[in-house]
Structure 1
């Protein structure tokens, strides 16, 4: 039997629970509780034992390999040593940070990782400007550490360049998906946006310091705040790419989900950029660059929604599609020389 071809959402979750229970002995952990907290691509569980909490991540089918996830864990370990508040990988009884776990009915083993829990909650509307400034500074520090880490080794992580995101092997080449989801006219609108973005990737690829190791999915839900301190989680999409793609993810999600007015948007955006620029330079065309990379974020989110068969994604995704298309239309209509 091939898992996940037909099972109901509840059955999928039950099988993920079985995998989680099979994984924990690899770390010698006897859990008091194992609670599923997210199941989109990966399945993530909150594990409690002896008064402590961990995040157990069961990798997605056809997701990142053991080698790729081990590279992620190595970077997280380096970031922890540098004092950043990020998940702390736990070494298994075999001495590894990634364990491939299988069950009799599973087509292939799933990579599993166990991470120390990072305290805090995602920021809410009304987040203090000073906290937004700290988030920008933390993003800059993350990119600085990424440069140092990648300079000393080959990092087996994906490259988030134009070809990966929008080229022939990407979800945007699967025309049958798009025809059903948004029709021919919608595809034309997306094509116009992608054509403009190719120029951005080309110009930034030649700019010193513009590319490096990035988080890859730095939106509001992957930022945690506790008593003013800031932490980052969910490095599953980390890889090499334009640093401003991370900053664009923060700006877009904060302005959409936290700002209660245009004044809020202006203040949050300015604070994020100020915090980042305090530690790491921003390009002269930062406004136009952020506009472009926000469009990248919107398109990749759209691609994720359209291509996903996950019930959780299908529950929230359809409502986002017209919102994203409206934003893409505004992007295409805007003068490329204009500020964001």
Structure 2
């Protein structure tokens, strides 16, 4: 240690949080002194809050202040922002981009902080989020809260848990009684949810720039009013344990915003902090959308916003509809997801044959996703639909051929880099069963009818003479987790793009699924042409008749795969076993149940969850809507898998 004096205020008999006061210009080597680190660790563990005075240089804070007020002044107006979270009256939380001067190891990698956080969260901790909370002049007192709900229902266990996330608050202006600060209840990170907060533990730390305070993610706290005329921005850096996954706070913005170029500037010995972020950096085009407020004129299609993509595709649709003699038809977007789907409206009476099963004036026009299934596979899907609608007489979409008799066609538009496969089907009348208000009795009858329809589909599939050139995906292990993982043609790339810890979790599911299906036979008692996406959202009811739409994922698979796909939306319902019984009751009225594979139904549902997660990763590469929701979808998918695996 040098001759500098470090003062420690434990404040054991005071409402004030513990404080470590560092002298200005303290040598960096003194910041890693084991005695200092251990003292800081013990104080934080006991109190859940710790002030550290003079940790950052004034030169650094001045740069951060100037840059923040220049770059983020658009948030200084009291109005809504799509990329900011309202955390109180005149109080916003925004993500700050990791770029000069914020991309500075003296800020996120201060030696004292790094050694202290490692002692509290473990060696493999990560930087989980980075941003700012802006309290505008007139900001009112914030509600008292914890930054994250308890991890377990057992309160006794939660109270004993060590810290799983820690927030470091770095003020960019002096925090005074006028500008406000944060009121904290020291020790409250160890209170049960029913315990009352006591004023004897309440204090408000007013600190000058260059100082900071640390708060446990379970500490009760709340921002105080800003009665000054100044904007009060405070930076926050949140460090996570390696296993911790945030479930709140980031509904509208990124946790960390960093480009590959900025990541390269991070010293190698600090790159471990950005382990999760580095996984996200692999997503194609993700960063360019964060880095540029305007896209260049020659932006490729997968960099466009969703609305810009739809605009181009609607123009392609109008041109392609001339192949069906419908060039003057009206178009209405239904969805822009896996495929881009439009409702096509023509004058009533244009189609001679009318059938109450189908609309006489409305059709479905699909522009199929590029670089996935070849036109031969899409033609095969439509051949299967033609058989089911015309010969089997089942309530499914009926394909409409082009004027030249083809089941699908190529659509071209100058603004798109490649032609797209297009197809047209009749509009199947009916309402989604999800929108039906039903009693439990009528719902059970519906599910039984759903089971009968699925039994009919499988029965016709078993006896249909499959055409020689029929080609569709196989929803076996290779289709879900191998070469076609993520519903792609490059499963290995999808796995590489999947960030940790989701990749490890999905790999566990993959191994279990592989071990499970190796015991099942691929004969007609277990395996055949399935719908592939047989969930409630694709099921319609029309005058008590159940119909099914969206055969885009039809292919070869186990019969139980379709049963599992329907049931995975009910797996958490208290009446799940009752729904299962009714579904199987209806199915068995048509054909024998696939007994050998039924015992593995939870395993199939779990596999579908993981396959869905990989699909989200894949689609995030070229679809802005999937990019925007990817992190939330992965978190929810992982939570579902963990719950399901506890049943296996």
Same fold (TM over 0.5): yes
Q: Could you say which residue in structure 2 is the equivalent of 1:177? A: 497
1:32 deviation in Å?
Answer: 4.2
Greater fraction of residues in helix: 1
Task: Please tell me whether residue 53 in structure 1 is matched to residue 362 in structure 2.
Answer: yes
1:151 deviation in Å?
Answer: 4.4
Q: Could you say which residue in structure 2 is the equivalent of 1:284? A: 595
1:6 deviation in Å?
Answer: 2.1
1:30 deviation in Å?
Answer: 4.0
The match for 1:115 among 418, 425, 435 is 425
The match for 1:165 among 465, 475, 480 is 480
The match for 1:138 among 453, 458, 468 is 453
Distance 1:156 1:2 in 2: 34
Q: Could you say which residue in structure 2 is the equivalent of 1:266? A: 577
After TM superposition, the structure 1 = structure 2 runs for residues 174-253 of structure 1, keeping only pairs within 5 Å, are 174=493, 175-179=495-499, 183=500, 185-206=501-522, 208-253=524-569
Task: Please tell me whether residue 70 in structure 1 is matched to residue 379 in structure 2.
Answer: yes
Q: Tell whether the 8 Å contact from 2:410 to 2:419 is kept in structure 1 after alignment.
A: yes
Distance 1:262 1:112 in 2: 42
Task: Please tell me whether residue 156 in structure 1 is matched to residue 471 in structure 2.
Answer: yes
Q: Could you say which residue in structure 2 is the equivalent of 1:22? A: 319
Greater RCO, 1 or 2 (C-alpha within 8 Å, sep 6+) = 1
Q: Normalising by the residue count of structure 1, what TM-score does the alignment of the two structures yield?
A: 0.88
Taking structure 1 as reference, are residues 168 and 67 closer, same or farther at Cα in structure 2, changes over 3 Å only?
A: closer
Structure 1, residues 210-248: CA drift from partner, whole Å, max 9, x if none?
110011111111111122111111111111111111111
Q: Tell whether the 8 Å contact from 2:485 to 2:611 is kept in structure 1 after alignment.
A: no
Taking structure 1 as reference, are residues 284 and 177 closer, same or farther at Cα in structure 2, changes over 3 Å only?
A: same
Q: Secondary structure at the match of 1:196?
A: helix
Q: Which runs of 5+ in 2 are unaligned?
A: 1-297, 349-360
Structure 1, residues 43-71: CA drift from partner, whole Å, max 9, x if none?
00001101300000011121322211111
Distance 1:55 1:206 in 2: 34
Q: Normalising by the residue count of structure 2, what TM-score does the alignment of the two structures yield?
A: 0.48
Q: Could you say which residue in structure 2 is the equivalent of 1:298? A: 609
Taking structure 1 as reference, are residues 187 and 7 closer, same or farther at Cα in structure 2, changes over 3 Å only?
A: closer
Could you tell which deviates more after superposition, 159-168 or 77-86? 159-168
Q: Secondary structure at the match of 2:519?
A: helix
* RMSD of aligned Cα (Å): 2.2
Structure 1, residues 292-315: CA drift from partner, whole Å, max 9, x if none?
111121111111112212233345
Distance 2:563 2:469 in 1: 24
**Runs of 4+ with deviation above 6 angstroms:** none
Q: Tell whether the 8 Å contact from 2:318 to 2:327 is kept in structure 1 after alignment.
A: no
How many positions carry a matched residue from both structures? 326
Taking structure 1 as reference, are residues 137 and 74 closer, same or farther at Cα in structure 2, changes over 3 Å only?
A: same
